[in-house]
Structure formats: C-alpha cells, structure tokens
C-alpha cells in the first residue's frame, strides 16, 4: 500500500503545483483591452457657390458663355403712363442644375448721354417681383463708358421701387431674390421698359449672367441654361 500512497501524494502535489501555476499566470497576464468603435455621423454643410461682387466677376461669367441677353440695342421710352416699344420676354430654365448666383447688367442712354439721375429709370419686372431698378445700389464698375448709364446688381438682391416716381434716395425700396425666382419654375415673364419721356431713350443691353450648381452636393456645374422664347 505504501507505493500507492506515495503515488497519490505525488498526484496531489502535482495538481496543486499546476493549479498554482495557472492562477499565477492569470494574475500576471496583462488585462484584455476591449476596444469599442464609436461612429460619429458628420453633417456635411452644403454651401452655395458665390459669383463675386464686381464687374470683372460678371465679365468672367459672360466669357464662359453663362449669360442671357434680354434686350439689346432697342429704342424705348414712356408716354402718357405707358411704355413705347416696351418688351415682354419669357425666360426659360432648362437642365437638371439650379441657378446658384449671378448678376443683372444694364447699359442705357438718352440722346447720347446717361439717364437723368433723379427722374429717368429702367423698369424690369419679372412676375411682379421688380419695378424701377434702384441704380444707387449698383456694384462697382471700373472704367465706365462715357455718356452711358451702367448698372450691375447681384441677382439674389435686386433693389427696386415698385411704383413711380423714381427717387434715387428712396428708403422704402424693395429687394427681390431673382435667383430663387428663376429656380421656382421653368419659365419667368419679364416686363421691360425705359421710364423716360425723351423719345430718344435707348437700351444698349440688359443681360443676366449666372452660375449653375447641384444643390444636393454643393458643386458648381454647367447643367442649367437660360434661354428666351423664340
């Protein structure tokens, strides 16, 4: 029985050693580091493209072909409360893109001179959101042509007087966003005339220059076009 007892004692001692070693290893083992992934959703801010704020910026868009001339080299004036040779034009917008920004450019004269600053005015009214264009709100135009009146306004901030008389210092003027107007539908009607009694009134040019964009991505595109009804 003695060898059996010795063998049992050896087994017991071995088991104790194994258990002790395992416990010691667990004690000195580096703790398991659990890494949790945290997903943060970032809201992307979509910014509408900007067109600038001076005549060079306007000319840049024209040179790229992104413009539409509404009236060019036409005689027009007013008599007895009505426009003589006034214009009624429809602007169509096509393509998947939207108008991002742009400019309204006006160049006009009367008998070889600029308009009278206090009385004469250019009337542009798209779908009831316009009137006598307030020239004092014009952006900077360097090297203006002599003997002509030139006006440059941002398309998203057109200042105007809805009714006569024209007053360059008026404080009760209104402001319309023609960018939104052009994007609202596929067609916009523009009524245009020169509010001046002199029959030698002349509109050299009325032009819209514009930039297109994808409103879902904020990227500038070429996928929009303005055109006139033929």
Residue 73 and residue 204 in contact, taking contact as beta carbons nearer than 8 Å = yes
Cis before 165? omega within 30: yes
The pLDDT value recorded for residue 230 is 73
The pLDDT value recorded for residue 16 is 47
Taking only the tens of pLDDT, the chain with its 230 residues reads: 455 555 545 555 555 444 454 544 454 455 554 555 555 555 667 888 999 999 999 999 999 999 999 999 999 999 998 999 999 999 999 999 999 999 999 999 999 999 999 999 999 999 999 999 999 999 999 899 999 999 999 999 999 999 999 999 999 999 999 999 999 988 999 999 999 999 999 999 999 999 999 988 989 999 999 999 97
Residues comprising the chain, all counted: 230
The pLDDT value recorded for residue 47 is 87
Domain boundaries, the chain: 53-226
Residue 148 and residue 59 in contact, taking contact as beta carbons nearer than 8 Å = no
> Whole-model pTM above 0.85?
no
The pLDDT value recorded for residue 10 is 54
The pLDDT value recorded for residue 91 is 97
Spatial separation of the C-alpha atoms in residues 39 and 167, rounded to whole Å: 59
Spatial separation of the C-alpha atoms in residues 203 and 180, rounded to whole Å: 26
- Tell me the fold of 53-226: Jelly Rolls (2.60.120)
Spatial separation of the C-alpha atoms in residues 132 and 162, rounded to whole Å: 6
């Amino acid at each position: 029985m003695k060898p059996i007892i010795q063998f049992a004692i050896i087994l017991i001692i071995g088991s104790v050693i194994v258990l002790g070693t395992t416990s010691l290893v667990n004690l000195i083992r580096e703790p398991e580091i659990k890494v949790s992934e945290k997903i943060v959703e970032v809201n992307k801010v979509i910014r509408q493209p900007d067109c600038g704020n001076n005549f060079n910026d306007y000319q840049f868009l024209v040179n790229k072909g992104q413009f539409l001339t509404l009236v060019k080299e036409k005689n027009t004036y007013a008599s007895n409360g009505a426009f003589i040779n006034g214009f009624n034009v429809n602007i169509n917008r096509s393509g998947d893109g939207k108008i991002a920004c742009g400019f309204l450019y006006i160049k006009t004269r009367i008998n070889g001179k600029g308009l009278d600053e206090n009385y004469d005015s250019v009337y542009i009214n798209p779908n009831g959101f316009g009137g006598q264009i307030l020239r004092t709100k014009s952006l900077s135009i360097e090297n203006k042509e002599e003997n002509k009146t030139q006006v440059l306004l941002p398309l998203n901030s057109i200042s105007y007087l809805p009714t006569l008389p024209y007053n360059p210092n008026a404080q009760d003027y209104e402001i319309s966003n023609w960018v939104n107007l052009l994007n609202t539908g596929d067609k916009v009607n523009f009524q245009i005339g020169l509010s001046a009694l002199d029959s030698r009134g002349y509109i050299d040019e009325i032009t819209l220059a514009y930039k297109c964009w994808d409103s879902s991505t904020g990227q500038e595109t070429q996928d929009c076009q303005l055109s006139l009804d033929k």
